[in-house]
């Protein structure tokens, strides 16, 4: 007589799962998830938001006809250059990036002119066009700021002259935009000065490799020549001249940023004495001048 317990009365018989059931349980949901991931990937690639693979990819995206791709690429590149030492020390890439920055500045000034209402015109269509032109100008301004951050995060001073020019005078008539661009340029000069200090203190072969790249640049490249002189401690520094001028600016916040930036730069004995004098004055700064307040809407 068997000792096995009798099955419970009323319970259905236990049967092994069928192949169809297993497919429905695992394969179908997997296909759905895979399809969704593919759609997300495709949309990401089409929008240009994917990870850029090389310096050529970055430059191509920065020169894209799509302003959204340019803006996102500049924002991403500003962060990448903080950790990608090889890219940050690539002289050819830095020179190309400096030209992109200058072109973006030219476009910004052109967009600002388009955002000014022509005399004697005040129709609804004109107002709408001016609103769109203003939005275009502000978007381009943000793009210029991100590009300035990129130049500051390089480990070669190829963008020094371009940043110094904006720190002195961004050549835009809008007071708040001018203040914003000057402040950003000074902040980028501080970052660049810090990076150059690390290069000077680092292994000699790394500095030699950068100088070799700079010396191979075309003779017509003023940025390359000035950058090589800067690393060798020759000639006048465009950054120091610009920062010393900013130390006398009417904007008290710009003077504060300048005090921070000047601590990362050194030059000839005469330049160093001027830096020390400027820092002593800034240490006793009483906040005089016209404070330019910038909000998120600006």
Least confident of 45-49, 113-117, 230-234: 45-49
Rounded to whole angstroms, the Cα distance separating 243 from 187 reads 10
Per-residue confidence band for 203, with pLDDT thresholds at 50, 70 and 90: very high
Q: At residue 167, does pLDDT exceed 50?
A: yes
Is 207 part of any domain?
Answer: yes
Is 165 part of any domain?
Answer: yes
Per-residue confidence band for 48, with pLDDT thresholds at 50, 70 and 90: very low
Lookup result for tokens 């349980």? 25
Is 26 part of any domain?
Answer: no
Is 38 part of any domain?
Answer: no
Identify which has the larger pLDDT, 21 or 133: 133
Q: What is the mean pLDDT of the chain?
A: 87
Exposure string over 242-281, b if 16+ CB within 10 A, otherwise e: bbbebbebebebbbebbbebbebbbbeeebeebbeebeee
Across the range 204-218, mean pLDDT stands at 95
Is 115 part of any domain?
Answer: yes
At residue 16, the pLDDT reads: 64
- Please report, rounded to a whole number, the percentage of residues in the chain having pLDDT higher than 70: 80
Is 11 part of any domain?
Answer: no
Is 110 part of any domain?
Answer: yes
Residue 63 belongs to domain spanning: 48-234
**Tens of pLDDT, residues 62-108:** 999 999 999 999 999 999 999 999 999 999 999 999 999 999 999 99
Is 96 part of any domain?
Answer: yes
**Is-contact 144 91, C-beta < 8 A?**
no
What is the three-class DSSP state of 91?
Answer: helix
Q: How many domains does the chain have?
A: 1
């Amino acid at each position: 007589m068997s000792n096995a317990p009798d099955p419970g009365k009323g319970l259905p018989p236990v049967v092994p799962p069928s192949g169809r059931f297993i497919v429905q349980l695992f394969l179908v949901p997997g296909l759905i998830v895979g399809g969704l991931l593919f759609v997300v990937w495709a949309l990401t690639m089409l929008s240009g938001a994917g990870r850029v693979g090389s310096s050529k990819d970055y430059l191509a995206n920065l020169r894209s006809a799509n302003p959204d791709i340019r803006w996102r690429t500049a924002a991403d590149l500003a962060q990448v250059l903080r950790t990608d030492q090889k890219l940050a020390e690539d002289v050819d890439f830095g020179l190309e990036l400096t030209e992109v920055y200058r072109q973006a500045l030219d476009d910004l000034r052109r967009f600002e002119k388009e955002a000014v209402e022509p005399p004697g015109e005040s129709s609804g269509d004109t107002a709408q066009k001016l609103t769109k032109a203003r939005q275009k100008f502000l978007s381009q301004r943000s793009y210029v700021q991100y590009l300035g951050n990129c130049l500051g995060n390089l480990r070669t001073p190829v963008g020094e002259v371009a940043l110094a020019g904006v720190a002195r005078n961004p050549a835009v008539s809008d007071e708040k935009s001018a203040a914003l661009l000057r402040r950003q340029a000074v902040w980028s000069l501080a970052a660049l000065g810090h990076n150059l200090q690390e290069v000077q203190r680092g292994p000699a072969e790394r500095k030699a490799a950068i100088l070799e790249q700079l010396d191979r640049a075309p003779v017509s490249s003023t940025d390359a020549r000035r950058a090589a002189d800067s690393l060798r401690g020759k000639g006048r520094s465009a950054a120091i001249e610009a920062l010393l001028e900013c130390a006398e600016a009417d904007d008290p916040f710009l003077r504060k940023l300048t005090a921070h930036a000047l601590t990362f730069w050194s030059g000839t004995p005469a330049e160093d004495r001027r830096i020390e004098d400027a820092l002593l004055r800034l240490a006793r700064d009483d906040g005089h001048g016209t404070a330019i307040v910038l909000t998120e809407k600006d």
